[in-house]
Amino acid sequence: MRIAEILRRKGSDVATVAPETTVRDLLRVLAEHNIGAVIVSADGTTIAGIVSERDVVRSLLAKGTGLLELPVAEIMTAAVHTCAPEDRVDGLRRTMTEHRIRHLPVVRDDKLVGIVSIGDVVKSAISELATERQHLVDYVQGRQY
């Protein structure tokens, strides 16, 4: 399965915040959208970084509650791994596992076109397994297509 298929099913909406957005406002965006990470982008299409709940928690320990008024640019991950719509999901699983990443922006022609989470990847794997199982059951039972 390709990343484009996941985006087709879930949609291509991506929550973004500007680099100067405060961590307090970031938390509001995460809560409003019920998501675990947002892309940091000045224009909504280029990627300056990514910031997740994990980044907030780790920074809170180091910086204390004053963190809430800091810009997300101070806690974001600037070296962002990305994928393309044409990439295969199995390669994405490896990337996410090896780098301990839960969210990957999807980019085409250097423009943000979506985001894929580990939940999306797991859901696609379950769907593929269910389809394969049904094909095997049909084969064993002698059903033809």
Please report, for the domain that includes residue 11, its CATH number.
3.10.580.10
Q: What confidence score (pLDDT) does residue 33 get?
A: 95
Tell me if 87 sits within 8 A of 59, measured CB to CB. no
> Is 64 part of a structural domain of the chain?
yes
Q: Phi, psi (5° rounding) for residue 73?
A: -60, -25
Is residue 112 in a domain? Answer: yes
At residue 130, the pLDDT reads: 63
Beta pairing partners, 108: 111
| Residue 125 lies in domain | 3-140
Check whether 46 has a pLDDT greater than 90. yes
145 in a domain, yes or no? Answer: no
Tokens at residue 21, please?
């957005």
Supply the pLDDT for residue 137: 76
d(CA 124, CA 5): 9
Residues β-bridged to residue 88: 2
- Say yes or no to pLDDT of 43 above 90: yes
Asked if pLDDT for residue 142 goes beyond 70, the answer is: yes
Question: 55 lies in a domain?
Answer: yes
Is 53 strand, coil or helix? Answer: helix
Q: Classify residue 43 by its DSSP letter.
A: S
Asked, for residue 72, whether it belongs to a domain, the answer is yes
Does some domain include residue 127?
A: yes
pLDDT at 141: 82
What mean pLDDT do residues 48-67 have?
93
Q: Is residue 39 part of a domain?
A: yes
Q: How many domains does the chain have?
A: 1
Are the C-beta atoms of residues 23 and 72 closer than 8 Å to each other? Answer: yes
pLDDT of residue 90: 87
> Above 70 in pLDDT, residue 36?
yes
